[in-house]
Amino acid sequence: MSITLSYSELAALIKARAGVTVDPLDLERPGSHFDEFGVDSLGLLGVVGELENRHGLKVTAGAESAKTPAEFLELVNTSFAAKAGA
């Protein structure tokens, strides 16, 4: 079973774990950066922790340091795909 995190799910996780409300369409906008939305590495660390707890899979190290939503989703989804196929 493959797990894929979407921009909508990421927005919900950011609200739940970082306390920041972000529109999924803004996250999806090319060139958007987490700092535009007030989301820092600690907020992303909370998101990573929630994903790991929820799915029982480790996320690639460094995902919490991603600068953009696209980079974060790429790291997380690649990590989940690799571990689901293992």
- pLDDT 10s digits, 27-83: 999 999 999 999 999 999 999 999 999 988 889 889 999 999 999 999 999 998 887
pTM: 0.92
Q: What is the mean pLDDT of residues 1-14?
A: 91
What's the CATH number where 63 sits? 1.10.1200.10
Range of the domain at 62: 7-84
Evaluate whether 66 touches 46 at the Cβ level (below 8 Å).
no
Tokens describing residue 74: 């790429």
Question: Band of the pLDDT at 3, cuts 50, 70, 90?
Answer: confident
Evaluate whether 19 touches 40 at the Cβ level (below 8 Å).
no
Residue 57: inside a domain, yes or no? Answer: yes
Tokens describing residue 72: 């974060």
Residue 1: inside a domain, yes or no? Answer: no
Evaluate whether 11 touches 22 at the Cβ level (below 8 Å).
yes
Question: Over the stretch 62-72, which tens digit does the pLDDT of each residue have?
Answer: 999 999 999 99
